Amino acid sequence: MSTQIVTVDIGGTHARFAIADIAGDGTITMEEPTTLHTEDHASFQTAWEDFRERKGGALPDGVSMAIAGPTGGDVIRFTNNPWIIRPALVGEKLGVAHHTIVNDFEAVAHAVARLPEDCFTHLAGPEEPLSPTGRLSVLGPGTGLGVAHLYREPDGRYRVSATEGGHIDFAPLDQIEDAILARLRKRHTRVSVERVVAGPAISDIYETLAAMEKRATTESDDIEIWTKGMSGEDSLCAAAVDRFCMSLGSVAGDIALAQGGFGGVVIAGGLGFRLRDTLVSSGFAERFAAKGRFQSLMAKIPVKLMVHPQPGLYGAAAAYASQHLK
């Protein structure tokens, strides 16, 4: 017997909605999502009502939400949009019997737990599937750096923990990264890895490389640096992208060591997906394994890139199944 729910992925700019079907064996299928702009709706409730109208006026009586931000407390506020969600009132406001609310990267880890193997592509380490048991580490660069931990039980069950691993200290490994750290320290007393391996960090990396070569910088917009670097149009932008990939490899290896993610590491998120070809050809794999006495251990960890187009929506549905359909 299957269960239908509404699955939602809420960010600062967009809220994505889809009807998901959760089969009795835990398999999840989703319809094509509907994307609404948060600025076009006064609240999540009015966005929900808009989606309900688009679906003919009726929706399933369960909802799961992946939210870009902290989910604890009586009131959930968003960094980049004015919506407020009060978890205790979700059932009453939306007319649903059951609901689940998770952090967006917690949802991604739920997706890792349930997605089939063909939703992952190889990045580094042995070309073998993620371990069906034990600990896995999940991280993804975006506006920030999301980090989560997944533990798979031998009986098929699993546990997910959202973490703040993106805020551990950045540890440079060479003179270039020393220079990046020095630049960032002028603005931040404490420099976390998120300052170096999240999307906006490409600007500081680019500016550091330009200063080392005594070049006048011409690119100040991070999107333009990413575009020119990934296309190879500009050699300095390309060098910044390659340096980003190397640093991401180092951070991913550190996360795996800290969490004991020896069953596998997954890179997730839109930026990771766009970097898939660059990651393979960059120094990512070498940096991931470069952990001194533990290099041989690190080289045995399969590192994968998630290629599912909607991990937040899928993961929110998986989180609902884990909470309500055990």
- Is 12 annotated to bind ligand? yes
Query: How does pLDDT run across 31-61, given as a tens digit for each residue?
Result: 999 999 999 999 999 999 999 999 999 999 9
% of the chain exceeding 70 in pLDDT: 99
pLDDT surpassing 80 at residue 312: yes
Domains 3-103+308-324 and 165-306 share a fold: no
Q: Residues of 162-201 as b/e, b for ≥16 C-beta within 10 angstroms?
A: bbebbebebebeeebbebbbebbeeeeeebbbbbbbbbeb
- Is 72 annotated to bind ligand? no
Run of H or E residues at 6: strand 3-10
Q: Which has the higher per-residue pLDDT, 259 or 77?
A: 259
Level-2 CATH architecture, domain 3-103+308-324: 2-Layer Sandwich (3.30)
- Is 301 annotated to bind ligand? no
- Is 22 annotated to bind ligand? no
- Amino acid identity at 113: A
- Is 85 annotated to bind ligand? no
Query: How does pLDDT run across 261-294, given as a tens digit for each residue?
Result: 999 999 998 888 899 889 999 999 999 999 999 9
Task: Output the DSSP codes for 211-267.
Answer: HHTTPPP----HHHHHHHHHHTSSHHHHHHHHHHHHHHHHHHHHHHHHHT-TT-EEE
- Is 112 annotated to bind ligand? no
State the pTM of this model: 0.91
Q: How is the chain split into domains, by residue range?
A: 3-103+308-324, 165-306
pLDDT band at 223 (very low <50, low <70, confident <90, very high): very high
Distance (Å, whole) CA 184 – CA 93: 45
User: What is the assigned CATH class of domain 165-306?
Assistant: alpha beta
Distance (Å, whole) CA 113 – CA 229: 33
